[in-house]
Amino acid sequence: MGFRLQLRSKKALRREAEAGVYDVVIVGSGPAGLSAAIFAARFALKTIVIAGEIGGQVSDAGYVENYPGILRITGPDLVNRMLRHVQHYKVPVRMGWALNIERRGSVFEVHTTGGAVFKSKTVILALGVRKRKLGVPGEEEYSGRGVSYCAPCDAPMFKGKVVAVVGGGDSAASAAVLLADYASRVYMVHRRDKLRAQPIYHRLLADNPRVNILWNKVVVKLEGDRLLRRAILRDTKSGEISVLRVDGVFVEIGADPPREFFEKIGVETDEEGYAKVGPDQSTSVPGIFAAGDCTNACNGFKQIITAAAQGAVAAEAAYRYIVSAAGSP
């Protein structure tokens, strides 16, 4: 995808972590995290981004057509633009996963892979969500050999071939539209008789002669030889089993929040595991803020634009928290 980052050795990361206390450590580098980094820099906060993977789910998105000012762009290209904006402000982005966050007096310690510990006055969690898998026989066996979770990454490999997209939401619809630019035939396999995607996608899919929607179907098994060749489907109403011959299957069936991590660090969640946040993106732990898809904000309306907005709000809230703490006796 061409994300350009200056790589650091483990020793260099540890030296950097020991260099001092940051104003804010941002954990995550999707639209929420990158937006938070831009605004934190504009507030003159000493900031660093810890990125498990650049871009989060947007890096796996097909075409993005609802971001203001950009008529159409692929997810990876949009992430690259955001990343360049962050780099313009000279905010360091370091690869690694956050393992734990502990409070030591007025300072948080963010423990990451590689043994680095970053100290900070505030933390912004922009952890996103984790894509769900089908959990059926053959999925792991054919992962990377026909089974994919990233349409923009792998679509060019299926030029002129037959593929299936499993799911019925926005991400599935977006993937199907993108794949139709490459594949000779795209099947959407959806367990219900109506898509959950936004109305615009209904029209785009209906108008595309390469896309066929298979209603009331679920994948129960994936088969092949060296490569994936078949998806075994079950009708959710009749129970009838059918065979769909495909060269690729793209899985887009939703995602889960990092509930375990939130519980580990003491951040309160809702029943589904999303971080509870206030209007300023504050969590139940003073000094820790959260933004983007990992939160319960915006009534579940999880879009790139809302994630970016939450990142900006979280950065401003972190700034106010630091200023307030500095003025305290």
Residue 79 pLDDT more than 90? yes
**Is 294 among the residues known to form the active site?**
no
Amino acid 275: pLDDT: 98
Question: What's at 308, amino acid-wise?
Answer: A
Most confidently predicted of 7-11, 205-209, 254-258: 205-209
Alpha helices in the chain (DSSP H): 10-17, 31-42, 75-88, 151-154, 170-179, 199-206, 259-265, 304-327
In this prediction, residues 275-290 reach a mean pLDDT of 98
Contact 122, 24 (CB under 8 A): yes
Amino acid 272: pLDDT: 93
Q: Is the dihedral of CA 307, 310, 316, 318 positive or negative?
A: negative
Tell me which residue of 101, 120, 96 sits closest to 10, measured CA to CA: 96
CATH number for 10-131+255-327 (one of 3.30.470.20, 3.40.190.10, 3.50.50.60, 1.20.210.10): it is 3.50.50.60
**Is 181 among the residues known to form the active site?**
no
Annotated catalytic residue, options 154, 170, 247, 293: 154
**Is 293 among the residues known to form the active site?**
no
The percentage of the chain sitting over the pLDDT mark of 70, rounded to a whole number, equals 94
Amino acid 63: pLDDT: 85
User: pLDDT by residue (tens digit) across 143-193?
Assistant: 999 999 989 889 999 999 999 999 999 999 999 999 999 999 999 999 999
The pTM of this model reads 0.81
Annotated catalytic residue, options 77, 153, 235, 298: 153
- The CA R_g of the chain, rounded to the nearest whole Å, is 21
Topology match between the domains 10-131+255-327 and 147-251: yes
In this prediction, residues 11-31 reach a mean pLDDT of 78
In this prediction, residues 269-286 reach a mean pLDDT of 97
Q: Which is more confidently placed, 130 or 327?
A: 130
Residue reference for tokens 């956050």:
98
DSSP assignment letter at 70: B
Tell me which residue of 125, 148, 135, 143 sits closest to 257, measured CA to CA: 125
User: pLDDT by residue (tens digit) across 223-267?
Assistant: 999 999 999 999 999 999 999 999 999 999 988 999 999 999 999
* Residues 6 or more apart in contact with residue 300 via CB below 8 angstroms: none
Residue 42 pLDDT more than 80? yes
Amino acid 327: pLDDT: 74
In angstroms, the Cα distances linking 138 to 25, 131, 166, 244 are 40, 18, 15, 14
Give Cα 247 to chain centroid, integer Å: 26
Q: Name the CATH superfamily, with its identifier, for domain 147-251.
A: FAD/NAD(P)-binding domain (3.50.50.60)
For the chain, the structural domain boundaries read 10-131+255-327, 147-251
Annotated catalytic residue, options 150, 170, 247, 293: 150
Amino acid 326: pLDDT: 82
